[in-house]
Amino acid sequence: MAIEWRHDDVDGLGAARGYAGHVVPLFRRVAASFEALPLPDARFDLAVFNASIHYATDLAATLSEAVRVLVPAGGVAILDSPFYRNARDGDAMVAEKRSGGALDLGEARADLLALRSIEYLTRDRLLEASSGLGLSWRRHRVRYPLAYELRPLWAALRGRRAPSRFDVWEGRRSEPAVG
């Protein structure tokens, strides 16, 4: 099942059409907010946020909903969302993006900037938002080509903000106490 608030063919629910004929039957697609999942409690083993959690408008509510639909020993995976070592660099990225100077968002610009999303994550943001949910987080560092790994050095030498990383973050729920 895929949940997304956008319908477009690039990053929205329409992108699933590319799997037609390869995945039979094509998985269910639901348009919904991450903060109010139209799903029953304790139904899934894993909630995956693939290139999406940074579009959440309320990170704590999003993670709370993800945990609500997980079975007691379920987990959360976050991948392909921008993580920064500190909020200062994340905030600088957001300012660049909103001013139009960081990247060309093309025709999707209005849609992508319509809602005020969290835009990026830091370890502190993730820990604060998941406080009380019984999740323990582990970062799995993605190894990139050398040129990509050298981006922080080049940014520092040029006096620019540090770039984001796109590592995989795994949140595991603690097993409930028995007895």
Poorest-pLDDT segment among 26-35, 39-48, 71-80, 132-141: 26-35
Q: Give the number of C-alpha atoms closer than 13 A to the C-alpha of residue 174, restricted to the C-beta side.
A: 9
CATH topology for 32-173?
Answer: Rossmann fold (3.40.50)
Query: Which of 7, 37, 38, 13 has the alpha carbon at shortest distance from 27?
Result: 13
Give the pLDDT of residue 142.
95
Q: Considering the chain, what is the average pLDDT of its residues?
A: 89
Cis preceding-peptide flag for 82 (omega within 30 of 0): no
- The model carries a pTM of 0.85
Q: Which residues pair with 93 in a beta bridge?
A: none
Give the pLDDT of residue 102.
47
Percent of the chain residues past pLDDT 90, beyond the cut: 64
Rg (CA), the chain: 18
**What's the pLDDT tens digit per position in 118-165?**
999 999 999 999 999 999 999 999 999 999 999 999 999 999 999 999
